Amino acid sequence: MVTKQQILQWLQTFVAEIEQNKDYLTELDAAIGDADHGINMDRGFKKAIAQLPTVADKDISSILKAVSMTLISSIGGASGPLYGTLFLQASTAVAGKQDLNEQDMLGLLQAGLDGVLGRGKAQLGDKTMVDVLSPAVTTFQQAVAEGNNTLQAMQRTVAAAEQGMKDTTPMVAKKGRASYLGERSVGHQDPGATSSYLMLKSLLTVLESFS
């Protein structure tokens, strides 16, 4: 079971992880975008967690929804609406829940991915966050189907996410600002794929700390 407390800790851990990697994310974006991904993520997620105390006594869905609203309204750039939609759809998938079993977690992750796909229309191989989120969801689903608990499934998911992140380096960007570069985007890891990997890694960090 993933508890509400763990979800709150996940968000805190992710914010700390973004802060640590703020310059790195911005450098990645400088190579193929406009050098603001670390800044966008840091500003947006810090603002999002600042108001968590006001929803901390509500269910998990309300917490994720509050995060999504702040992201949509306050991160500039493509990543605001994309991460905002991810959290909004994730919140809808776990309506009313105070803790999440394996199937709930699968529903949350799948809905988040579907939100990003619906909003950004990227496909696998377009060199975006989808190249991390899509293999992550597939791996989590398979792990749960094989009888893994959430911790075990997340260990496999984060490994798949890391591979997906690395796999963006040789890709030609087909979506977002990086797509303006065409072939010149080759040889650089995608910033959004990198932040999505950090998001999943932060969840694993929290689950491992409780196990």
21 belongs to the binding site for ligand ADP (CB under 6 A)? no
176 belongs to the binding site for ligand ADP (CB under 6 A)? yes
The minimum distance between CB 205 and ligand ADP, in angstroms, equals: 22
CB atoms within 10 A of CB 44: 25
Beta strands in 83-176 (DSSP E): 99-100
Residue list 103-142, contact with ligand ADP (CB under 6 A): 116, 120-122, 128-130
User: Which of 79, 157 has the CB closer to ligand ADP?
Assistant: 79
User: Which of 78, 94 has the CB closer to Mg ion?
Assistant: 78
Which of the choices ligand ADP, Mg ion, none does residue 84 contact, using the CB cut-off of 5 to 8 A by kind?
Answer: none
Instruction: Quote the tokens at residue 117.
Output: 């796909």
Rg (CA), the chain: 16
Q: If you write DSSP's letter for every residue of 104-120 in order, what string do you get?
A: HHHHHHHHHHHHHHHHH
User: Which of 66, 130 has the CB closer to ligand ADP?
Assistant: 130
The minimum distance between CB 192 and ligand ADP, in angstroms, equals: 2
Which of the choices ligand ADP, Mg ion, none does residue 116 contact, using the CB cut-off of 5 to 8 A by kind?
Answer: ligand ADP
Nearest partner of 192 among 141, 143, 104, 119, judged by Cα = 119
CB atoms within 10 A of CB 46: 14
193 belongs to the binding site for ligand ADP (CB under 6 A)? yes
Orientation of helix 22-32 relative to helix 4-20, angle to 10°: 60
Footprint on this chain of ligand ADP (rule: CB under 6 A): 29, 33-34, 36-37, 40, 77-79, 82, 116, 120-122, 128-130, 175-177, 190-193
